[in-house]
Amino acid sequence: MTSSTPTPLSYKDAGVDIDAGDALVDRIKPLAKKTLREGVLAGIGGFGALFEVPKRYKEPVLVSGTDGVGTKLKLAFEWNMHDTVGIDLVAMSVNDVLVQGAEPLFFLDYFACGKLDVDTAAAVVGGIARGCELSGCALIGGETAEMPGMYPAGEYDLAGFAVGAVEKSKILTGQNVKPGDVVLGLASAGVHSNGFSLVRKVIERAQQGGADLPATLDGKPFREAVMEPTHLYVKPVLEALGKHPIKALAHITGGGLLENIPRVLPEGTAAHLKKGSWPQTELFAWLQKVAGIDDIEMNRTFNNGIGMVVVIDAAEAAACAATLRAAGEKVHEIGVIAERGEGAAVVVG
């Protein structure tokens, strides 16, 4: 009886390519370097990322947020559009941190796939770095996980989190919001990163019905309009926070205007939004028409054109809107705060 030596199995034979991972790190390093800011104590490569809270904060409170990109990734895979979903990833967390009045300080990402495609991963992380750069937030670390058998070929998942800081005395809670305050709406850049399970169904219905998809929407090719990355509100809103007594902010994500605005309102108050006070884009008009849904469902599923809401005293509203417009935001006065009574927390009419 003879024994045979089994053929050696390497990690690469099992589907994990360490060399590809190293190549990706080499591609990422210069992108991350562009996001460096005060407080970063070490670059990418350590086991833990080091960050020192800037000394200009007297009583810093750390604010954190985490999120993913959701089923928008399915369209990124199908359409081979990977360079903007990283911006979505950053925006979903930094915009949430901003709502507490905080300045985003640093961001970490998690990229997981079955087989690492360096070009695809580099495009995704390039978007993450761009999002960080645009929001003044350092890309301080992350994780790339190659897990054979966990994901179909060509697919990946993304998650990330941001940490910000705010002076304890300047935390936004919304508790001093009162009837008569004005509700300002900052325009979104399309669908952002919520509601894509419905977006994909709408596209599927339009195609199954034999109708051609629109060539363009809002001046952009159809796919670019649908995949437009989530708008980063950080720098303009931080500027406005430094100049005006903003009472509350709401990031309009899953649940739309109807579910997110009440999260920052005191008990006994409601937001009365004026229908038609902001324009419906061609993209949202097309989605509503093909889906066959009413205005309530639109405002509960999508941001429907408003990605961030600002609540401020009526006497300060015009000056705050002017600051935001000067910083590049499209601002609409969309409603007022009222006593709630027996009605809903958000009324659109």
pLDDT of residue 11: 80
Q: Domain tally for the chain?
A: 2
Domain boundary among 170, 197, 217: 170
Q: How confident is the model at residue 43 (pLDDT cuts 50, 70, 90)?
A: low
Question: pLDDT, tens digit, for every residue of 226-253?
Answer: 999 999 999 999 999 999 999 999 999 9
- For the cut 90, the answer to whether the pLDDT of residue 100 exceeds it is yes
Does one domain contain both 344 and 227? yes
Between 43 and 28, the higher pLDDT residue: 28
Pick the range with the lowest mean pLDDT from 46-50, 167-171, 319-323.
46-50
Does one domain contain both 189 and 322? yes
Distance CA 223, CA 61 (A): 40
For the segment 286-311, the average pLDDT, to the nearest whole number, is 96
pLDDT of residue 218: 97
Residue 51 falls within a domain, yes or no? no
Domain boundary among 142, 170, 198: 170
For the segment 139-150, the average pLDDT, to the nearest whole number, is 94
- For the cut 80, the answer to whether the pLDDT of residue 3 exceeds it is no
What is the residue type of 158?
L
Q: What is the pTM of this model?
A: 0.94
Distance CA 226, CA 13 (A): 39
Domain boundary among 170, 201, 219: 170
Does one domain contain both 114 and 236? no
Pick the range with the lowest mean pLDDT from 38-52, 102-116, 163-177, 245-259.
38-52
Name which of 127, 129, 105 is nearest 37 in CA terms. 105
Could you tell me the CATH number of the domain that includes residue 127?
3.30.1330.10
Query: What residues contact 225, with CB distance under 8 A and at least 6 apart?
Result: 190, 216, 217, 218, 282, 283
Structure tokens at 132: 């960080």
Structure tokens at 256: 């739309």
Let me know: does 106 contact 165? Beta carbons within 8 Å. Answer: no
- Per DSSP, helices labelled H in the chain are 18-33, 72-79, 85-99, 118-134, 196-208, 222-227, 234-243, 256-260, 282-291, 295-301, 314-326
Full domain range(s) for residue 188: 182-348
